[in-house]
Structure 1
Amino acid sequence: MTTLSTHALDAALGVPAAALAVTLFDPQGRQMTAARTDADGRVAFDLELGEGTHVLHFDTGAYFFAADRDTFYPEVAVSFAVDPEQSHLHVALLLSPYSYTTYKGS
């Protein structure tokens, strides 16, 4: 089984994206869990993932709204493949109001 963590950074401000709502969905589209990033913009999910394509949904619209900032992307959905041979996956998100990027971290 594979564990999962994520890290979101507000690239426009150069700070962690704290209190960003993140929801994890399984390969069938069912919600597995939901959390908010900590002060460092991180979530370490307390569960194990099975094989298949999962989705992390970041509620970027609410994050920017709470800071009275506009955004073009009200949500970011990151699909990623889980290989049971990997013991841990880390999905990182670099966020700004008008762009985002994601990568497989370590």
Structure 2
Amino acid sequence: MLASFFAGAADGDAVKNPLSVHVLNLQTGTPTAGIAVDLEQKQENGWVKLASGTTDDNGRIGALFPAGKILSHGDYKVVFQTGNYYQKIKQPTFFPEIPVIFHVEKDGDHYHIPLLLSPYGYSTYRGN
């Protein structure tokens, strides 16, 4: 039975894709749908946009890294467009966007970046 669980899990985009994000609303204790998220990579001439997505009903983007490419050693930035989200729900916020810069040490690893969000504060960490 465990073998079938792992075989099924290997078929999902989140398993194949090296980068996922998750946004939870600390004010309501619920997932935050509808947040636009950009992924950028630091290169010689500055930050270069690689991909974009929007959190689903569970507050997740399971596959943020471009398909068919390898997440390689270097610095990356995930930018959560929180100002647009709060404007849509007609609530003020202190943070119009939240950039999270992280370093990829080892090619082939999976990186999960959760964001715990409220209008006037946030927290993030490396998830699994």
TM-score, structure 1 as length reference: 0.93
> 1:20 aligns to what?
35
| Structure 2 residue ranges without an equivalent (≥5) | 1-16
Deviations 1:23-46 (A, max 9, x none): 000122100000000100001225
Structure with greater contact order relative to length (CA < 8 Å, sep ≥ 6): 1
Task: Point out the structure with max Rg over C-alpha.
Answer: 2
Q: State the number of aligned residues.
A: 105
> 1:10 aligns to what?
25
**More strand, by proportion:** 1
Runs (4+) of structure 1 exceeding 6 A deviation are: none
Moved more, 77-86 or 21-30: 77-86
> 1:30 aligns to what?
48
Query: Which aligned pairs between 1:71-90 and structure 2 lie closer than 5 A?
Result: 71-85=93-107, 87-90=109-112
Identity across matched positions, percent: 38
1:84 Cα offset (Å): 2.1
CA distance in 2, matches of 1:35, 1:70: 23
Q: CA RMSD in A?
A: 1.4
What amino acid is aligned across from residue 77 of structure 1 in structure 2?
P
**More helix, by proportion:** 2
TM-score, structure 2 as length reference: 0.77
